[in-house]
Every structure is written in C-alpha cells, then in structure tokens.
Amino acid sequence: MSNPLLGNFTGPFGTAPFSTIKEEHFIPAFDAAIAEAKENIKALENNTDAPTFENSVVALEHCSDTLGQISSIFFNLNSAETNDEIQKIAQEVSPKLSSLQNDILLNEKLFERVKAVYEQKDTLNLDVEDARLLEKTYKDFSLNGAALNAEDKEKLREVDLKLSKLSLTFGEHVLAATNAYELVIDKEEDLAGLPEAVIEGAAMTAKEAGKEGKWQFTLQYPSYIPFMTYAENRTLRKDLFTAFGTRCFDGGDNDNQKIVKEIVQYRNEKAKLLGFDNYADYVLEKRMAPSPKAVVDFLTDLEQKAHPAANKEVEDVVNYAKENGAEEVQRWDWGFWSEKLKKERYAIDDEALKPYFKLENVLNGVFEVSSKLYDLHFEARTDIDKYHEDVMTYEVKDGKGRHIAVFYADFFPRAGKRGGAWMTSFRGQSIYNGEEKRPHVSIVCNFTKPTETKPSLLTFNEVTTLFHEFGHALHGMLAEGKYESLTGTSVYWDFVELPSQVLENWCYEKEALDLFASHYETGEKIPQEMIDKIKASSTFLEGYQTLRQVSFGLLDMSYHQLHDGKVADVSQFEEMAMEPTSIEALPKVDGVNMSVAFSHIFQGGYAAGYYSYKWAEVLDADAFELFKEKGIFDKNTASSFKDNILSRGGIEDPMELYKRFRGEEPKVDALLRRAGLLN
C-alpha cells in the first residue's frame, strides 16, 4: 500500500496532498518516520569520523525531517479538522514522540559529539547562523541535564517527576475547589442587571444539576465574570467574590499552600542542579529578557509610571459609584461599577460597526497593508490541495515575482475545529543540500459564517484577531535562513508576539482603515469618530489593568528568584510581593489568596514568564512608535522591520535584532503614551 504521507509531495510547491491522506495512513507513516529518525540517530552515534559542525549539529537538525513533516500535517488537522479517529491516533502517537525526544536529548554519545564541536566553536569560523544553531543545540542538551554526572542526572529525574506530579495535583485542586462551589438563586429579583444570555445559561446549569426553575452560578469564568460585572445584588457579589478568592486556601482537602511551597522548593533545587542560582535564572536563559533583575526593573518601571494613572482611574470609578448611590467600593464592586462607567462614556455599538468589516474586505485590507509594507502579493489558487472546502489558498510572491510562500486561510467554525484563532505552518522554511524550501503557512479562525443573504461581517475584535494572526503569518512567510529550528516563529517565547501584536496597530489608523473599512452596502468609509471611540474604549482603565498585570508578574518573579527556594508563609509572601502595586482607594480583602490558584505559574508554563504579557505589549508599542514617527507605510521603516525582525526568526539574539531595528532597547514609555497615561 502506498502511503501519501511518506512519498514526495508532488502538488504545486510541494504542498501536502490532503485529499489522498486517510486516517489509516497516519500510524504507519509515524512508525516509519520514527524508525527512520532512530536509524539516523544510530548512524550519528556510530559515526567514527571526528565530530564536525556538519556531521553532528547539522546532521542532528535533520535527523527527523520526515517525522516533522508528518507531525505538522497531523497535529494541524487535529486542531482544525479533527474527529474521534484522529484524536485516538494523537493519544497513541504523543508518548512515542516524547520518548523519541528523550532518546535524543538524554543520549550521551550525541551530547559528546555536540559538546566536542561546541568546545571548538571559537576556532571554527562559523557564520552567525551556524554559531546560533550550535549554541541552541548545546543549550537544548545541557538545560535538559545532559552535562550532569550520573548521580545528579538521577536527582534531576526525581525532581522533575516530583514537579510534574505536584503541578498536576495543584491543577486538580483548583478544579475541584472551583467545581465544589455553587450559587443557587431562586428569586428572580436576585438576577437584576444580568444579561439575558447569562440568565439563560444559569437556568440551564441549574436544570442540568436537577434544580429546574432555579438559576445556578459557578466559579468558572463564563459564569463568574458576568455575574461580578452585571449583577446588582451586592451581597451575592460579595459571596461569589469571597468563594473565588478563598479557593484552595481554606485548609481543606484542596488547600494548595503546601504545594506552592513544595513546587517553589523543587524548582529551586532543579535550577541549582543545572548550575543556576535560582529558577528564574534558569528559565530566562532562553528568553529575550536578559536577566531576572532586568525583568523586575522592567515591571517596577511600569508600576511607577502607571501607578498615578491607576490611582486616578480608581478614584474616578469610586466617585462615579458614589454619585450613583453606592456607599463604598470594595473589590466585589469594582467590575460592576467600572463596567457601568465604561458603558456610559464609551458605549460602542458592535452591530453598527460590523458592516464596515466584511470579511473579504478585511482580508484584502491585510493583503494590501502587507503589500504596501513588504511588497507582498497574494494570488488566489484553485489547484492547491486542501483539508476542507472552506479553506482558501494563495501563492505569495514579492514584487519581483519571487515565490515567497503558500498561504492557507481557514475562517469559519465547524464541529472538528477547536475554538479561538491561531497561526501555524504545514512546512517551515529551510535550505538544505542547496535546496530551499519555502514555507506553507496557515491561519485558522472562528469567524461568523456568511448566510444566503448576509456576508460574513466581523466585529472589531475579530478584525484585530485577523491582523494579529496575519502578523504571525508574516513572520513565518518572510523567513530567510538555513535551519528550520531557527526560522520563522521559532524564536524565544517573550519575542514571538511582537510581529503579531505590532500589526494590530494598523487597525486603529485612519490611513490603513481607509484601504478596506467601507460599509459593505453603501461603500461609505468608516467615520473618524467611530475610530476615536474604539481607541478610547480600548484603553479604558489601562493604568489599573497595567498595575494588575504587574502585580502578577512581580509575584511570579518573587517566587522564582528566591536564592534558597524557601517560602515560610504563602499569604505573607504574596502580600509582600504585591505590595508595590497596591491602590489605597481599593483595599485588599483579608483572607483571600491568589497564589494558591495561580495556575499560569504553578500548573502551566508561565513560571518566571508572566511578565511576557506586558513585555510583548511594550515591544509592539515601542516598535510601532517608529512607524508612527516615520509614517505607518514608510518604506525604510518597513524594510528594516522585515530585514531585522520578520526575516531573521531566531537566527540572532532577539534583543540584538530589536536594537538593530529600533536603534535602542525597548522602553515602556511608548506603551503608556499609546494608552494616554504619559504625555
């Protein structure tokens, strides 16, 4: 049986042959490709030639090319067009892939070869790209413990095992504590203020729990947030707030205080084993942010500049609440009153905006923006194989007619697609044995489908989403390098959102909007006052929000910067870490705790990384400020952004790349200026 996943792809540009791929092809293809990778590794291990950059580092980069190709097709389908069969295959294949990964990174003979090359790096005359690949490969091994002696390797294995169990338990506790609470309402008057859809949802939840005729609210965000934002009943808001803030903090079965201390302790131990002073040092080894101190300085700078604005905003909301009959504003009143004020000052009617954003117009708009900036041209193609009829396919060329990339766009929701929006690729960019592979990039969204009478009209939020994902796509499409693991979006984690977020800025500029935002029936261009309103509402309470994000970032850094990894008391520790961001007019509530449910850092992958949300915003605001200064379609600025950022992927240190574009390191001021917090 011939397996389409294993042959050469013979379609236009070597695109994936979706229409001939069947579910039953995946397992045999994965097995064959894993076997091939293992053969390649064995050959590398047994190579008796002295280690060189080519025969070791480059050979390693390409040892699982076939597997990479199959994986990207398979896992993209599992996100965008999945079914039971595909999900079953994913369950079966994932452990095989991680075990192969371990076979490589824990392989002593491979590491010996890489290390031998690494030790000669200064005499090898490597170009920038080769030097970076060597550095990256060496780090991948050593940060995984490959350089440790047998005893320490065993210790590391034990610590990792403990950490993965603790994180799992942490998450289970948060989930259990969240699910253990319910607020059941049986008097209709207690629903006052809540939107119809929220009330319906609560009725449904109650019905499913066997309480027909009542309304049930929970601590899950889709229920909790609307209740805190709209419910007029203050006592119930306080109940819900208190329940939320005391999850995993009540000394019961789901209490996470001990687990927080243990996770912090073991992470510290891990960092020490790998030769670092603390866990943040270890994490930041592979980040754009140069050091924990730089991160804390960054957060502190933001805190100091945003604090006055935050104080004023809080005062503003409190005064507004009092004018409207409130006696005081506590934390459980904050969401309620700020939403009311926002509505009064900046009400935007989504329905009135949508006609200006017909999907086809917005897509043409983002094409035109990238044509003006980067000289890219998009040509619709009907001969490129696709995995669903809704997918649109394009060839991307530059102004000289050079083939740049294949672009797929998949916009509408359907049963087999997960929620949200993302950019991905079916093939990365690389040059190997004199042959260049150009990228095959895709964006996947969940926008409203057109009907027989109405085209797909986007909300403004969906417009910025499309620009965001397209920004990632540009990063992928414009890649120019030799090694796939260093091109496109293969960059440090706190740098990857710059190309995406920066492109969102064009959605707020009249000059860009005039290219595409015209009413789909009348052709009228979007009025300036609408743009002004969108801008104003997007920065509402920006000072307060900034302080809030900074407080989480500081808390995260405090835990992971401890020299000895010891936390005596979780509550006191948290209070001290977050103290710099406190706001007098909105006092902290005693007895609630954030750390014990801070899943981002104790369950997910954001440990010593929470700062990256604000970091990315600072980068995009600071970068866009140069465009604003020179003109949002200025050719020189765009070329520089393309040459130094979009094309360079992870070939060089991101801070170096950024400085080459901007002339200096990023500063927080541009973000604050954009939000109107600084003149």
Residue 592 three-state SS: coil
Residues 6 or more apart whose CB falls under 8 angstroms from that of 419 comprise 413, 446
Closest CA relative to residue 406, chosen from 75, 9, 70, 1 = 9
Measured from the CB atom, is 107 or 500 closer to Zn ion? Answer: 500
State the distance between the two ends of the chain, measured CA to CA, in whole angstroms.
69
Measured from the CB atom, is 420 or 587 closer to Zn ion? Answer: 420
How far is the C-alpha of 70 from the C-alpha of 75, rounded, in Å?
A: 9
Least gap, CB of 445 to Zn ion (angstroms): 12
Measured from the CB atom, is 320 or 613 closer to Zn ion? Answer: 613
Least gap, CB of 676 to Zn ion (angstroms): 24
Least gap, CB of 497 to Zn ion (angstroms): 5
Catalytic residue among 81, 469, 497, 574: 469
Measured from the CB atom, is 170 or 606 closer to Zn ion? Answer: 606
Count of residues in contact with Zn ion, rule CB under 5 A: 1
Burial of 84 (0-12, 13-18, 19+ CB in 10 A): exposed
Helix or strand holding residue 536 (H, E): helix 528-538
Least gap, CB of 467 to Zn ion (angstroms): 11
Task: Give the 3-state DSSP-derived string for 600-665, with helices as H, strands as E and coil as C.
Answer: HHHCCCCCCCCCHHHHHHHHHHHHHHHHHHHCCCCHHHHHHHHHHHHCCCCCCCHHHHHHHHHCCC
Task: Give the 3-state DSSP-derived string for 77-117, with helices as H, strands as E and coil as C.
Answer: HHHHCCCHHHHHHHHHHHHHHHHHHHHHHCCHHHHHHHHHH
Amino acid identity, residue 663?
Answer: G
Q: Tell me how far the alpha carbon of residue 344 is from its chain's centroid.
A: 32
- Residue 9 phi, psi dihedral angles, 5° rounding: -85, 115
CA distance readout (Å), 595 to 206, 297, 340, 466: 30, 22, 30, 34
Amino acid identity, residue 609?
Answer: G
Closest CA relative to residue 300, chosen from 671, 580, 563, 573 = 580
Per the CB < 8 A criterion, the answer to whether 525 and 517 are in contact is yes
- Extract the tokens encoding 20: 């001939």
Helix or strand holding residue 640 (H, E): helix 635-641
CB-based closest residue to Zn ion:
500
Amino acid identity, residue 564?
Answer: D
Alpha helices, DSSP H only, in 246-356?
Answer: 257-273, 279-284, 292-323, 331-346, 350-353
- Extract the tokens encoding 369: 């923006």
Least gap, CB of 234 to Zn ion (angstroms): 38
- Which residue, chain included where needed, has tokens 């605001």? 621
Least gap, CB of 499 to Zn ion (angstroms): 9
What is the largest distance, in Å, between two alpha-carbon atoms of the chain?
83
DSSP letters along 46-76, please? T--SPP-IIIIIIHHHTTTHHHHHHHHHHHH
Closest CA relative to residue 358, chosen from 537, 523, 511 = 523
Least gap, CB of 51 to Zn ion (angstroms): 38
Binding mask 533-562 for Zn ion (x = CB under 5 A): ------------------------------
Per the CB < 8 A criterion, the answer to whether 578 and 555 are in contact is yes
Least gap, CB of 65 to Zn ion (angstroms): 27
Least gap, CB of 335 to Zn ion (angstroms): 26
Q: Are strands 403-410 and 440-444 parallel, antiparallel or unpaired?
A: parallel
Per the CB < 8 A criterion, the answer to whether 442 and 425 are in contact is yes
Catalytic, 108? Answer: no
Which of the residues 489 through 518 are near Zn ion (CB under 5 A)?
Answer: 500
Binding mask 441-480 for Zn ion (x = CB under 5 A): ----------------------------------------
Measured from the CB atom, is 500 or 558 closer to Zn ion? Answer: 500
Which residues are paired to 437 by β-bridges?
A: 430
Least gap, CB of 362 to Zn ion (angstroms): 18
- Extract the tokens encoding 112: 């010996």
Q: Are strands 430-432 and 215-217 parallel, antiparallel or unpaired?
A: unpaired
Least gap, CB of 501 to Zn ion (angstroms): 7
Residue ranges in contact with Zn ion by CB under 5 A: 500
Catalytic site positions: 469
